[in-house]
Amino acid sequence: MKRNLSSLEFLLAIVVSLLLVCCVGLIVLSWISLKTEGGVEPAVLSGQMVITDGAVFSDELKNSSSLKFKSLAFDVQQLVSEAFGHSELRLEFKSCQVLDFSQGSVVVTSDLWFNQLINVKEVEQQLRAGLQEAEGTGLVIDRNSIRITEKQSETTAAPTSVTPTTEKQSETTAAPTSVTPTTALKDDLHYEEEDLEVDSVRDREPV
């Protein structure tokens, strides 16, 4: 009887060990899959739309630090978030950040963040459909004015360094001029030598 119990305990221990190994394997696989999903960088798109009712453009909306800018930006971000919450992209959508307002009724330029890269046409369609569901928040958006584009990466052009060109001035050194005695001077010297010779001959003749 004791041997049967020992054998049963041994089998139970093996089964428990196998279950533990399976659990550990499942945990590792889950961790790897979560890590892979977490490694995907979020994508950002640029969005533009026009508010036709519920807001009036003023100079205060040009200042991102003004209370009116912050209040309207908060309302727009809430509206966009609610619209995507009603769309098929509710799991992919992360947040909306209003960048600026411009005149033309009120034109809104914003950044739209997603968990992964989404086709811009699909984002436009889903945002239009979501805004239709989210109407009644006080802001009326012209759904035909919605434009979604890929966010252009801001590249800073390297400053061009201008190297001044130095003109090399050629230094001309005047060649030394050699003074050549003229023919007249040579003749004078020749005559003087002849006169000296004549005088010496006269001195030698007896008186």
What would the mean pLDDT of 138-167 be, rounded to a whole number? 67
Average pLDDT over residues 39-48: 84
State yes or no: pLDDT of 115 exceeds 90.
Answer: yes
Cβ(130)–Cβ(87) below 8 Å? yes
Q: Which residue has the higher pLDDT, 202 or 106?
A: 106
Q: What is the pLDDT of residues 61-113, one digit of tens each?
A: 999 999 999 999 999 999 999 999 999 999 999 999 999 999 988 999 999 99
Structure tokens at 35: 């890590």
> In the numeric block, which tokens belong to residue 121?
């046409």
Task: Give the span between the Cα atoms of 106 and 50, in whole angstroms.
Answer: 6
- The pLDDT of residue 21 is 86
| DSSP classification of residue 54 | S
What pLDDT score does 196 carry?
54
What is the pLDDT, as a whole number, of residue 112?
96
- CA atoms of 54 and 132, how far apart (whole Å): 16
State the angle between helix axes of 120-133 and 67-85 in degrees (0 to 180), rounded to the nearest 10.
100
Name the nearest CA neighbour of 128 among 120, 5, 160: 120
Q: Does the structure show a pLDDT above 50 at 139?
A: yes
| Span 171-198, pLDDT tens digits | 444 545 544 544 444 455 555 555 555 4
Taking the C-alpha atoms of residue 21 and residue 30, their distance in angstroms, rounded to an integer, is 14
Concatenating the DSSP letter of every residue in 129-192 gives HHHHHT--SS-EEEEEEEEEEEPPP--PPPPPPPPPPPP----PPPPPPP-PPPHHHHHHHHHH
pLDDT of 43 strictly over 60: yes
Nearest of 139, 144, 136, 145 to residue 55 by alpha carbon: 139
pLDDT category of residue 17 using cuts at 50, 70 and 90: confident
pLDDT value at position 194?
57
Q: What is the pLDDT at residue 179?
A: 46
Amino acid 192: pLDDT: 56
Q: How large is the average pLDDT for residues 163-167?
A: 42
Under the banding of pLDDT at 50, 70 and 90, the label for residue 153 is: low
